[in-house]
C-alpha cells in the first residue's frame, strides 16, 4: 500500500507550532499556537485535556525540553485576591456566630449575621436597657440561639449578651482591617512572599504583621 493510500486511510496528525509556554499552578501550560487562518492564538494545553489537541501540544512542549517558566501573578492581582479572601473569611466568621454560655449551664451560639441578626440584637439591647431602667429584674426577655433553642434572660443578662456580641463583631472587623493593612504594606513593599503568607489565620499581633 502506498504512502498516499495510507495517509488517506489513517490521517496524519500534525502538531501545530507553539511558542511562549508558561506553566500554571494546576500544571496546565498556557502558550500560543499557530492557527492556519488566524495566526498565533492563545491556547491552554493539558495532559488531561478532553480534546486530543490539548494533550498533544502539552506532550510536545514537555518533550521539547524547553524551560517552562511559572506564571507570575501581578502583585496587584494577588493583593486583590487576598482582600477578597479576607472579606469572605470575615463573612464566614460572622455567619458562624459567637459561642456564648446561656442560662441552664448551656453553651450555645449567638447568631451575628449582619444582614439578619444585627438589627435584632440592637433592638434587644435597647429593650433590655429600658427594662433595667424600669426596675425589671425577672427573666422576661427571650432570645433564640443558633440551636433554635429559646432562652429566657433577665435584662442584665441580655445587656451582657448583646455587649459581648458587639465586641465579637468589632474584634472580627479589627482583625480584617489589620490583615488588609498587611496586604497593602506587602504590596507596597513588593514582598510577594509576605503577601502569599497572609491568611485569615495569620496572627494579627503587631509583632506578626510588622
Q: Is the pLDDT of residue 7 over 80?
A: no
pLDDT, tens digit, for every residue of 57-76? 999 999 999 999 999 889 99
Share of the chain above pLDDT 70, in %: 91
Are the C-beta atoms of 79 and 198 separated by less than 8 Å? no
- Given a cut of 50, whether residue 159 has pLDDT beyond it is yes
SS3 of 100, please? strand
Residues in contact with 125: Cβ distance below 8 Å, sequence separation at least 6, in sequence order: 158, 159, 162, 163, 166
Give the pLDDT mean for 48-65: 95
Give the three-class secondary structure for 174.
helix
Give CA–CA dist 67/73, Å, rounded: 18
Phi-psi bin for 42: left (phi > 0), alpha (psi -120 to 50), beta?
beta
Q: Which element (helix H / strand E) includes 1? A: none
Nearest Cα residue to 98 out of 163, 30, 2: 163
Q: Which of 15-19, 112-116, 152-156 has the highest mean pLDDT?
A: 152-156
Could you tell me which residue, 4 or 123, shows the higher pLDDT? 123
Q: Please tell me the predicted confidence (pLDDT) of residue 205.
A: 64
d(C-alpha 27, C-alpha 132), whole Å? 64
pLDDT in tens, 136-154: 999 999 999 999 999 999 9
Helices (H), 47-103: 52-64, 75-96
pLDDT score for 13: 59
pLDDT at 6: 46
Amino acid at each position: 500500500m502506498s504512502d498516499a493510500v495510507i495517509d488517506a486511510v489513517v490521517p496524519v496528525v500534525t502538531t501545530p507550532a507553539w511558542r511562549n509556554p508558561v506553566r500554571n499552578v494546576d500544571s496546565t501550560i498556557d502558550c500560543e499556537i499557530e492557527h492556519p487562518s488566524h495566526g498565533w492564538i492563545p491556547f491552554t494545553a493539558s495532559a488531561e485535556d478532553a480534546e486530543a489537541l490539548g494533550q498533544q501540544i502539552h506532550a510536545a512542549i514537555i518533550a521539547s525540553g524547553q524551560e517552562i517558566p511559572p506564571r507570575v501573578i501581578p502583585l496587584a492581582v494577588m493583593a486583590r485576591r487576598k482582600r477578597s479572601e479576607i472579606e469572605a473569611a470575615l463573612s464566614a466568621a460572622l455567619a458562624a456566630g459567637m459561642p456564648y454560655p446561656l442560662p441552664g449551664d448551656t453553651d450555645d451560639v449567638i447568631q451575628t449575621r449582619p444582614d439578619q441578626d444585627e438589627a435584632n440584637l440592637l433592638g434587644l439591647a435597647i429593650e433590655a436597657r429600658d427594662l433595667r431602667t424600669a426596675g425589671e429584674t425577672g427573666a422576661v426577655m427571650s432570645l433564640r440561639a443558633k440551636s433554635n433553642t429559646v432562652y429566657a434572660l433577665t435584662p442584665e443578662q441580655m445587656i451582657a449578651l448583646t455587649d459581648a456580641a458587639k465586641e465579637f463583631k468589632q474584634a472580627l472587623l479589627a482583625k480584617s482591617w489589620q490583615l488588609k493593612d498587611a496586604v497593602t504594606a506587602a504590596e507596597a513593599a513588593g514582598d510577594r512572599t509576605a503577601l502569599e503568607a497572609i491568611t485569615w489565620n495569620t496572627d494579627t499581633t503587631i509583632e506578626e504583621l510588622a
